[in-house]
Amino acid sequence: MDNELFMNTELPPPSEMAMHFEQPSSSSAMLNWGLMDPNLARNSPPQDCFMWEKSTEQQQSIFDSALSSLVSSPTPSNSNFSGGGGDGFIIRELIGKLGNIGNTSGDIYGAPMNGNVSRSASCYATPMSSPPPMMNRTAPLTEFSGDPGFAERAAKFSCFGSRSFNGRTNSGIPVNNGKIVNSGKLTRVSSTPALKALASPEFASAARPMIPAGDSPPKLPGEFSRKRKSVSKGKSKDNPLPAASPSPSFSKTAERKEVSEEKGGKRRREDEGEEEEGNKGGNDTKPPEPPKDYIHVRARRGQATDSHSLAERVRREKIGERMKLLQDLVPGCNKVTGKALMLDEIINYVQSLQRQVEFLSMKLSSVNDTRLEFNVDALVSKDAMISSSGSRVHESGLQLESLSHHNYNNNSQLNTNVSSNNMMLHSPMKSLEPSALARGFTHLPTLTQFTDTISQYQMFSEEDLQSIVGMGVAHNPNHESQSQNMKIEL
């Protein structure tokens, strides 16, 4: 199946490849592809897919050397590129080596490499098979993608079944510092994962003409088949994430990252890449995500397409989102940048809030023991009315009703506040109070000085208070009856 996929792949004219091929050779950092294999065998330590994120210089150097060797080797035959057969061979080699590099999983090169880079037949199968053994899983040489022409060519090679196709590309030519730089640009890469690893910014544009030429690298090659077996984990993470968040950072050349995760992480379908490529001409916006059950994450330019890195990135984005949210909450956090400092600030703020609660509770305890006695029933009965704003007034009114004469004195003070809403509140209370007291409410626990707490209700919206006042005044008789009922409940 993979073979036929690759058979269908149409590759751009070899001449283009020749051109691009020469680019790397002219680049300062010569990638010695010829050395690549031995280098890989020697130097690449057994690192797992995660390592690519922290790709070391070593890896990059390996990649660089490998690339340069690969580049240099075909150089003599560049002149033959225009030929049909010559380029095929070169391309085969390239792909083989590329596949090694791009394949972090290491088992990519099963069937996939059967693709026919040029229009030739499955001549690639052989070269492909050779790289895999040399390929150690580490190949997180995604940094390697510095070679623009090379990446471009790689893109053409849809036969690269390399799964963990890190879309990371160095903006510059060959691995500059090994850091995946997210330049925010997305490169359109062919669906070939391995090729994508090599994609560089320049490559993207260069690859564009090539991509529509025909790669119909439908499903990823062999490794995808392998992956299909293992996948099942189509993470149901937030799928909207790829659609929503990365969009601003996407350049017109949105790169469809195809990440097929060996370990069952996110996985992109190749056909997505196909769609995108199809739309590439007129559609610069993000193409619609096909309704798959996988997590489709859009890789940003200069970032790896490794499944783990993708997951990491998504997670980091989520955390960043929430950090912004927290930043709004915590006062004075605008100047602070960086996650660690922000988190420290947040922790300090939470601690200070908790300390405040403790302190206030201490204060309350010292106050309460002498004075604060609540009208329990009043509060309880107000539960039913809590939804309405009037409940507050009723609550306050009832509580005030139960105030002792001590509060009555305070009422006068409150009533002097003409302008505030409290005054309106007080009037019903005042009217209620004498009647309440008269009805023998004194046996209820009284809230001494609770009228002072009226001020606390000022923190509620004033409109509410006004409406409450109206209700309070109108319900004066109701209050009395209610208080009577409450008395009974007691």
Partner 1 sequence: MASAYNPIYTDVPEKDVFALHFLQTLSNLRTQNSFSSPDNKTSDRVKKIKKAAYVSMARAAGATNRLWSRSLLHQAAKRNNKNVRFLRRKRRVTWLMRRRSNRGDPIEDVAAERLRNLVPGGGGMETSKLMEETAHYIKCLSMQVKVMQCLVDGLSPK
Residues in touch with partner 1 (CB under 8 A): 315-316, 318-319, 321-326, 328-330, 339-340, 343-344, 346-347, 349-351, 353-354, 356-358, 360-369, 371-376, 379-380, 382-383, 386, 389, 391-392, 395, 445, 449-450, 452-456, 459-460
What the block records as the tokens of 48 is 């797992």
Q: Name the β-bridge partners of 260.
A: 267
Cβ at position 464, least distance to partner 1 in Å? 8
Our CB check for partner 1 shows the closer of 26 and 413 to be 413
Which residue shows structure tokens 């955390």? Answer: 319
Cβ at position 374, least distance to partner 1 in Å? 4
Pairwise CA distance, residues 380 & 399, whole Å: 12
Cβ at position 326, least distance to partner 1 in Å? 5
Pairwise CA distance, residues 312 & 308, whole Å: 6
Check: CB of residue 92 under 8 Å from CB of residue 114.
Answer: no
Cβ at position 279, least distance to partner 1 in Å? 27
Pairwise CA distance, residues 259 & 250, whole Å: 18
Our CB check for partner 1 shows the closer of 8 and 449 to be 449
Pairwise CA distance, residues 115 & 9, whole Å: 7
Our CB check for partner 1 shows the closer of 41 and 380 to be 380
Check: CB of residue 466 under 8 Å from CB of residue 424.
Answer: yes
Our CB check for partner 1 shows the closer of 213 and 336 to be 336
Our CB check for partner 1 shows the closer of 42 and 315 to be 315
Query: Which of 175, 163, 134 shows the shortest CA–CA distance to 24?
Result: 175
Cβ at position 418, least distance to partner 1 in Å? 20
Phi, psi at residue 179, to the nearest 5°? -85, 130
Our CB check for partner 1 shows the closer of 77 and 467 to be 467
Cβ at position 136, least distance to partner 1 in Å? 23
Q: Three-state DSSP class for 437? A: helix
**CA dihedral over 281, 282, 283, 287, signed as positive or negative:** negative
Cβ at position 410, least distance to partner 1 in Å? 9
Q: Three-state DSSP class for 255? A: coil
How many other C-beta atoms lie within 10 A of the C-beta of residue 450?
A: 23
Our CB check for partner 1 shows the closer of 68 and 402 to be 402
What the block records as the tokens of 437 is 């007291």
Pairwise CA distance, residues 486 & 490, whole Å: 6
Check: CB of residue 267 under 8 Å from CB of residue 294.
Answer: yes
Cβ at position 428, least distance to partner 1 in Å? 18
Residue 331 CB burial class (10 angstroms; 0-12, 13-18, ≥19):
exposed
Q: Three-state DSSP class for 309? A: helix
Q: Three-state DSSP class for 490? A: coil
Our CB check for partner 1 shows the closer of 15 and 352 to be 352
Cβ at position 256, least distance to partner 1 in Å? 24
Our CB check for partner 1 shows the closer of 226 and 394 to be 394
Our CB check for partner 1 shows the closer of 221 and 242 to be 242
Long-range contacts of 235-239 (CB under 8 A, 24+ apart): 235/265, 235/266, 235/294, 235/295, 235/311, 236/293, 236/295, 237/266, 237/295, 237/314, 238/314, 238/318, 239/289, 239/295, 239/296
Cβ at position 331, least distance to partner 1 in Å? 10
Distance of CA 186 to the CA centre of its chain: 16
